[in-house]
Amino acid sequence: MKKAKEAVISQAPLIHCITNPISINDCANVVLALGAKPIMAEHPKEVHEITALAKALAVNLGNITDARAESIFISGGVAKNAQIPCVIDVVGAACSALRMELAQRFIRECAPCVIKGNLSEIKALAGQKLQKTGQLVCSYAKKAHAVAMASGAVDIISDGSQVWFVKNGVAELSKVTGTGCMLNVITATYLSVTDPLTACLLSAGTLGICGELADKSRGMGTYHIELINQLSTLSDAQLEQYLQIQRAL
């Protein structure tokens, strides 16, 4: 993980993020804080060129529009053909037929290497609610031929054979709009320099640790800014000291 963190800083990869306007500024700042370069292009007439230049692609179904929906498929196709690593955040797949349809189509046609959502969204995609959560995420990852990341109080990550729990993070993260979107672009940033499983473990651990270290004593506005501060200053020693991951399978 240390090598991936250092590689982002030394290489400053371009990360193409097609995300929603609610979180676009924070997502750009988070990518910058890690040492990479964000580009937030989403017009259907230019995303083909932008994705082709990028080292990783992050797409997000939050606050979806017709133009953004068109763009994610154009970019996803470019990424697949050029073997550019891609992560999709299936925001709202559990509560909207439109988003479920878009998520399933994108996964089928564009073959992202990471599928990220909260646990209810991953459960909805899997279509199975009776299994234990770790087994469900694992079986879905295997079926989708991707790493599945179910974010929550404990993040559950699987590549279809291994299951990992990341136990960092605090309740305050859920009180800041867009932290799930931030996790998506952090994942894309690390995907640009390492394998999908490592990228997911590192991204979940990084955001969780920074959420723990951020000062929450003066309220959520300060906490929001402090979260980005921590992302820009997190040291290798802090990552090693605070990271709490457990392999379940």
Phi, psi of 91 (to 5 degrees): -55, 125
Tell me if residue 210 falls in helix, strand or coil: helix
Q: Residue 130's pLDDT is what?
A: 65
Q: Residue 238's pLDDT is what?
A: 96
How far is 129 from 182, CA to CA, in rounded Å? 27
Return the number of other C-beta atoms located less than 10 Å from residue 212's C-beta: 17
Please determine, for residue 95, whether its predicted confidence score (pLDDT) is greater than 70.
Answer: yes
At residue 2 the predicted structure's pLDDT band, cuts being 50, 70 and 90, is confident
Q: Please give the mean pLDDT across all residues of the chain.
A: 95
Stretch 150-164: mean pLDDT, rounded?
96
Residue 10: exposed, middle, or buried by beta-carbon count in 10 A (0-12, 13-18, 19+)?
A: exposed
Interval 32-83: pLDDT, tens: 999 999 999 999 999 999 999 999 999 999 999 999 999 999 999 999 999 9
Give the chain's count of helices (H) and strands (E): 11, 9
Q: In percent, how much of the chain has pLDDT > 90?
A: 93
Residue 11: exposed, middle, or buried by beta-carbon count in 10 A (0-12, 13-18, 19+)?
A: middle
pTM: 0.96
Stretch 211-233: mean pLDDT, rounded?
94
Q: Residue 132's pLDDT is what?
A: 86
Q: In percent, how much of the chain has pLDDT > 70?
A: 99
Question: CB-side exposure of 85: number of CA atoms within 13 Å?
Answer: 26
Q: Residue 89's pLDDT is what?
A: 98
Q: Residue 217's pLDDT is what?
A: 87
Q: In what helix (H) or strand (E) does residue 166 lie, and over which residues does it extend?
A: strand 163-166
